[in-house]
Structure 1
Amino acid sequence: MDGKDASPRGSTAQRIEAELLEDIAAGQIEAGARLDETKLAARFGVSRTPVREALSRLAAQGVLESGDRRGMRVAQYTREELAQMFEAMHEIEALCARLAAQRLTLLARSEIEAAQAECTRTARDGDLPGYLRANEAFHLSLYRATENPYIFDIASDFRRRTGPFRAKKFAATGDLIASAQSHEELLAKIFSADSNIAAEGMREHMTASFMRVLAAN
């Protein structure tokens, strides 16, 4: 962030922003949900000032939107808007898979495999909140493997915005297990080092995901 964030208030606002982003991306805070400044201040043990700053940051990113007089809420999208976002996300994720296959380092592979191991564990346990967070970590590790911070930021932004909608596609433990298994199939293609196969594998993965999202929303 910029230099103004070096203040204690800036650091607190950043921490609140990061935690709320994680909750929204993992679907723990649903689309349309109102964020109450007073309740959030109590949750984080702070005054309303850094909470208000964190919410303003999220609004600037398009993650939150102004509601009525009751304050900010998680952004909502029509099915058409959601389809357009997934169309863009589809290609960005495919690019990430392509570049990851080309540029994969031992460190990046280790991070991806650790995230996938957590996906597998939480899926088998039927731990939906745990799986949602592990799934985010899995995709973020793929974005980092591109070694391109600009692509990382763009891809991450789409995941934040669509998080509440993607979370609804997991209705049962079987859905979690199927998702984790699809990760294994995807990773086999990425680890093959064939960038075309990796990109096509991600397109297949994202198409299946989008169809489940539309069915659930």
Structure 2
Amino acid sequence: MQDLTIPSKSAPRELHSTSIAAQLESEIVAGKIKAGEKLDEQSLTKRFGVSRTPIREALHELVARSLAERVPYRGVLVVDITKERIEEMFEAMGEIEALCGRFAAERMTVGERVELEALHLRMSELSELGDATGYEAVNSEFHQLIFRASHNADLIDLANNLRLKLAPFRKSQLQSHKRMKRSNVEHEAIVTALIDRDSKKAEKALRRHLVSAAAEVITTMS
């Protein structure tokens, strides 16, 4: 099993649980922490130089994102993230986002449509700059706006919960500048359909967008 302990002097003394979860998340997705490995609280407190409370909160976040699981008498273990599992999650997300898009095309307010165009413009600028971190952050806002614009509370909850689980993989596929630019082109089709109130085209564009994202992730895993 990989030793997760490194001298605490190399890490900041105070780290928020979200930052710790993000670091562990990236290592799991990149395969640096393997499936079946135990995320040991004591080792992690030494590594990050923090108390057990933020470590426990970070592990809770990883479990919520289905990157790890709590196993009785064994602790928190990294799950085996297979291509089949990734495909299943993207398939479900594609259908949920497509439904959100169909409703949003019919229900978006004028203000929401203006905000959507502004977010797309900002992502176009970030794509040209090759700013993956900035693009990913605005991309999240873009999709969450579409969820909210469905104006269906239960659908919004479903979309946000599944997006949380897929977030590490959607983030990783946007590290490629080529994929970022293609994502932005796909967003253009989504925005056009939503602004035109074309529910069928919005649904289709969002479903294709998720298939494209899934293909990038799966190719990277090969």
Shared fold (TM-score greater than 0.5)?
A: yes
1:79-90 paired onto structure 2 within 5 Å: 79-90=83-94
* 1:65 alignment partner, SS class: strand
Instruction: Report matched runs for 1:160-175 at 5 Å.
Output: 160-170=164-174, 172-175=176-179
User: Does structure 1 conserve the Cα–Cα contact (< 8 Å) formed by 2:99 and 2:203?
Assistant: yes
Q: 1:153 to 1:20 in 2, by over 3 A?
A: farther
Q: Residues 40 and 206 of structure 1: is their aligned pair in 2 closer, same or farther, counting only changes over 3 Å? A: same
Question: Alpha-carbon deviations, 1:2-45, whole Å to 9, x = none?
Answer: xxxxxxxxxxxxx845x667x48xx7565266673455564xxx
Say if 2:154 is the partner of 1:150: yes
C-alpha contact 2:98 2:203 (8 A) present in aligned 1 = yes
- The structure with higher relative contact order (CA 8 Å, sep 6+) is 1
C-alpha displacement of 1:77: 1.6
TM-score (norm 2): 0.72
Q: Percent identity?
A: 32
SS at match of 1:147: coil
Root mean square deviation of aligned Cα: 3.1
2:83 and 2:116 mapped to 1: Cα distance?
Answer: 31
Unaligned runs of 5+ in 2: 1-15, 34-38
Q: Map 1:1-217 to 2 at 5 A.
A: 16-17=17-18, 23=22, 30-31=28-29, 36-39=44-47, 42=50, 47-56=51-60, 58-60=62-64, 62-66=66-70, 72=76, 76-170=80-174, 172-217=176-221
Q: Equivalents in 2 of 1:148, 1:190: separation in Å? A: 17
Deviation at 1:171, TM superposition (A): 5.1
Question: Secondary structure at the residue paired with 2:125?
Answer: helix
* Cα distance between partner residues in 1 of 2:93 and 2:215: 13
Question: Which 10-residue stretch deviates more, 106-115 or 151-160?
Answer: 106-115
Could you tell me the TM-score, scaled by structure 1's length? 0.73
Instruction: Give the whole-Å Cα distance in 2 for the aligned partners of 1:95 and 1:28.
Output: 30
Letter matched to residue 94 of structure 1: A
Change (3 A) 1:71 1:127: farther
The total of aligned residue pairs comes to: 194
What letter is aligned with 1:145?
A
Name stretches of at least 5 consecutive residues in structure 1 with no aligned partner.
Answer: 1-14
Deviation at 1:143, TM superposition (A): 0.7
Larger radius of gyration: 2
